[in-house]
Amino acid sequence: MSKWHDYPDTQIAQRPDAPAFKDDGGTIWTYGDLGAAIAELSLVLTETGVQPCDRVLILAENCCAAVAAVFACSRIGACAVPVNARQTEAEVQRVVDHARPAAMLITAAASPDASAHAGHLEASEISGAFGRLHLALPFPSDPDPVLEDVAVMLFTTGTTGTPKGVMLTHGNLLFAGRSSARLREMTHADVIYGVLPITHVFGLASVVTAATYVGAPVRLDARFTAARTYATLTSGITLFSAVPQMHALLMQYTKEQGFSRLPGGTLRYTSSGAAPLDPAWKRQAEAFYGIAIQNGYGLTESTAGVCASRNRIGDPDISVGPPLPEVEVRIDETAAGGGDRVGEILTRGPQVMKGYYRNPEATAAAFADGWLRTGDLGFFDDRGHLHIAGRCKELIIHGGFNVYPPEVEAALNGHPKVIQAAVVGRVVDGDEKVVAFVQAAPGDEPTPEELRDFAARRLAGYKRPSQIIVATELPAAPTGKILKHRLLDHFADRLS
């Protein structure tokens, strides 16, 4: 049976001198170096008592050592539990209590947050071919047979803020890496920018796993900053996958430097995921990059991939494209918020998770006759391309009318001073009001009145926000995805 680590193992055996990973801490590895790091770290874990079907929590930010750690777990049959080091102590503790790991590896050298966690956990420093890590042993070995075919457990942020452990099998990750590489027509001659956190499914499956499938080198950055991304993209990168917020902040930074587009010329593929596109923003992004910007759709429970576009530059299509090969998608129009072809998106195929760890109730609720209920709303157009209308739980019912937040966000994002917008519903006097939160550059903020007039020319009356709050920052996850469930509390003192 094929295993997730077969991808790097193939490159290690066939192309040991080829470049593999480089991080912003100065570490540069060939595939031979990666092989040595995986082998030594596998031995360390085994000698500390980690057994197959144990959990190993990897508290990390993007770096070479984190890559070695996840594949070392796969090599010894343990389940890797990657967790972003930017999480708070309390958030990490909830994961630890649920997963009960036999070992914890912390990339303390990668960031101050990771270093602080190492101190709180009283972890011991270890070093070797894998670099420098910190090791803690919170629980005795306790192999769980349900994890026999599970390579990775990812804890989702979730729209409710309550994390669940998503069990992704070796087959899930092998499929995701292979399909991502084929979609992008990747080869070992590409140079991939890895700024998406590898503790999240997009970065782990669509960047790291896809890269090791074809043997392409990856430049890892621990954290996204517009300045760092600008510098990296102008130094030989050919593939760049990101979320819309990253693209928006990069374009804003470039504008502040006095340029209208990204200089360079090596970038051949860029994509956006985790949030819908709007036509004006897409045109702006394609003019900025000089190439088509592709869109896609997936979630942690589907190992990132469900649908993806393959459009040419200038194509007005803002869908997330057709389903990937071997992936099935259908629309349940009986779901809440359905009608007018809109319904809940269901999917099945080799990309769908095994279930939620130690949570049979949530697992049962997530599936319907073998189909994964995504919780997202969408519809197919006449070409068979999927369009995302929002989340079932984010649907706003205002005055008896359905309001889909992405449509309102797209209207606001068209304003030249708006970097990004997020729209949520707020219950007031028995009705849901449409509330918009807008991020703008410091010193260049539009007024709520400007935005209200702008939206009024683009939206029906019942879709227009009752309140617009302008800020220079919005609460976001490490991926850059806006945390909508935190907006109302975060800006509580400004709500009226």
Note the pLDDT of residue 397: 75
Q: Residue 389 class from Cβ within 10 Å (0-12 exposed, 13-18 middle, 19+ buried)?
A: buried
Sign, CA torsion 336/306/326/310: positive
Top-confidence range, 221-230, 349-358, 460-469: 349-358
353 pLDDT above the threshold of 90: yes
CA distances from 16 to 34, 220, 491 (A): 9, 19, 52
pLDDT band at 201 (very low <50, low <70, confident <90, very high): very high
Give the residue from 204, 187, 172 showing the smallest Cα distance to 3.
Answer: 172
pLDDT given at position 160:
44
Q: Tell me what the pLDDT averaged over the chain comes to.
A: 92
pLDDT at 226 (0 to 100): 93
Instruction: Indicate the residue type of 441.
Output: A
Q: Is the pLDDT of residue 483 over 90?
A: no
- For residue range 43-95, list pLDDT tens digits in order: 999 999 999 999 999 999 999 999 999 999 999 999 999 999 988 888 899 89
Say how many residues make up the chain.
496
Among residues of the chain, what percentage have pLDDT more than 90?
75
**pLDDT tens-digit readout, 429-479:** 767 899 999 999 899 999 999 999 999 888 878 889 999 999 999 998 777
Residues whose CB falls within 8 Å of the CB of residue 133, separated by 6 or more in sequence, listed in order: 41, 65, 69, 105, 106, 107, 108, 125, 126, 127
pLDDT tens readout for residues 96-128? 999 999 999 999 999 999 999 999 999 999 999
Distance CA 100, CA 138 (A): 8
In this structure, the number of other CB atoms found within 10 A of the CB of residue 185 comes to: 12
Percentage with pLDDT > 70 across the chain: 96
- The pLDDT of residue 276 is above 90: no
Q: What span, in angstroms and rounded, lies between the C-alpha atoms of 56 and 181?
A: 27
* DSSP letters for 133-149: EEEE--S-----GGGTT
pLDDT class of 338 with cuts at 50, 70, 90: very low
pLDDT value, residue 401: 67
Q: What is the pLDDT of residue 137?
A: 97
Dihedral in degrees, nearest 10, Cα atoms 133, 136, 142, 144: -40
Ordered by where they begin, the domains of the chain are 6-174 (3.40.50.980), 224-391 (3.40.50.12780), 395-494 (3.30.300.30)
R_g (Cα) of the chain, nearest Å: 22
pLDDT tens track for 461-473: 888 999 999 999 9
SS3 sequence of 382-419: CCCCEEEEEEHHHCEEECCEEECHHHHHHHHHCCCCCC
Across the range 322-335, mean pLDDT stands at 92
Predicted confidence (pLDDT) at residue 15 exceeds the cutoff of 60: yes
Entry pTM: 0.85
CA dist., res. 362 & res. 490, Å (int): 28
Work out the pLDDT band at 159, boundaries 50, 70, 90. very low
**pLDDT (tens digit per residue) in 383-414:** 999 998 877 778 787 866 668 788 889 889 98
pLDDT of 161 reads 47
pLDDT digits (tens, 9 = 90+) for 280-302: 888 989 999 999 999 999 999 99
Q: Which tokens in the block code for residue 5?
A: 């680590």
